[in-house]
Amino acid sequence: MDKLKTILSKIKMLKIKAPKISIPKIKIPKMPKPNLKPLVEKIKPYMSKIWVVCKKVPGLVLKVIKGFITWLWKAIKESIAQVWTLLGFFIAWLTLTGTAQQIVGVATVLATILWLVTIPLREEKEE
């Protein structure tokens, strides 16, 4: 322990001069502000049309959301109506093994998706 203390005290007595490192100063060039007046002048004739479209967008978004919710409700009702068919597909998938199970599983999922997507095509329109 004494040897360690003597070594540490000798290290403290040594005066080592570390080289000075100078970091160069970098000047960031100033970017001029863009002149937007020519762009605004080009857009001015179209601004009223753009404004009309912007006013219609929220209404369109609401229609899309309403249509999706309506479709989702119909898909749930169709799925409940076909629950025994889907259960049969699931049982068939469980009884298979290997590649046959994978093929039947993928085919079942794709057929179910196609069936749900085409609900509007199968509906009878009221006149």
In a domain, 69, yes or no: yes
Q: Tell me: the pLDDT tens digits for 39-61?
A: 888 888 888 888 888 888 888 88
Residue closest to 119 by CA, chosen among 61, 86, 64, 76:
76
Q: Which domain holds residue 96?
A: 82-120
How many domains does one find in the chain? 2
User: Could you please report the per-residue DSSP string of the chain?
Assistant: -HHHHHHHHHHHH--PPPPP--PPP-PPPPPPPP--HHHHHHHHHHHHHHHHHHHHHHHHHHHHHHHHHHHHHHHHHHHHHTHHHHHHHHHHHHH--HHHHHHHHHHHHHHHHHHHHTHHHHSPPP-
pLDDT at 16: 65
Q: Tell me: the pLDDT tens digits for 16-40?
A: 666 777 878 888 888 888 888 888 8
Q: Which residue has the tokens 């863009």?
A: 34
Query: Are 92 and 62 contained in the same domain?
Result: no
In a domain, 8, yes or no: no
Report which of residues 14 and 69 the model is more confident about.
69
Q: Tell me: the pLDDT tens digits for 87-110?
A: 998 898 899 999 999 999 999 999
Report which of residues 13 and 93 the model is more confident about.
93
Average pLDDT over residues 58-69: 90
| Torsion sign (Cα): 8, 14, 19, 25 | positive
pLDDT at 99: 92
pLDDT above 80: residue 117 = yes
Query: Are 58 and 88 contained in the same domain?
Result: no
Query: Are 87 and 115 contained in the same domain?
Result: yes
Distance CA 66, CA 63 (A): 5
Query: Are 87 and 68 contained in the same domain?
Result: no
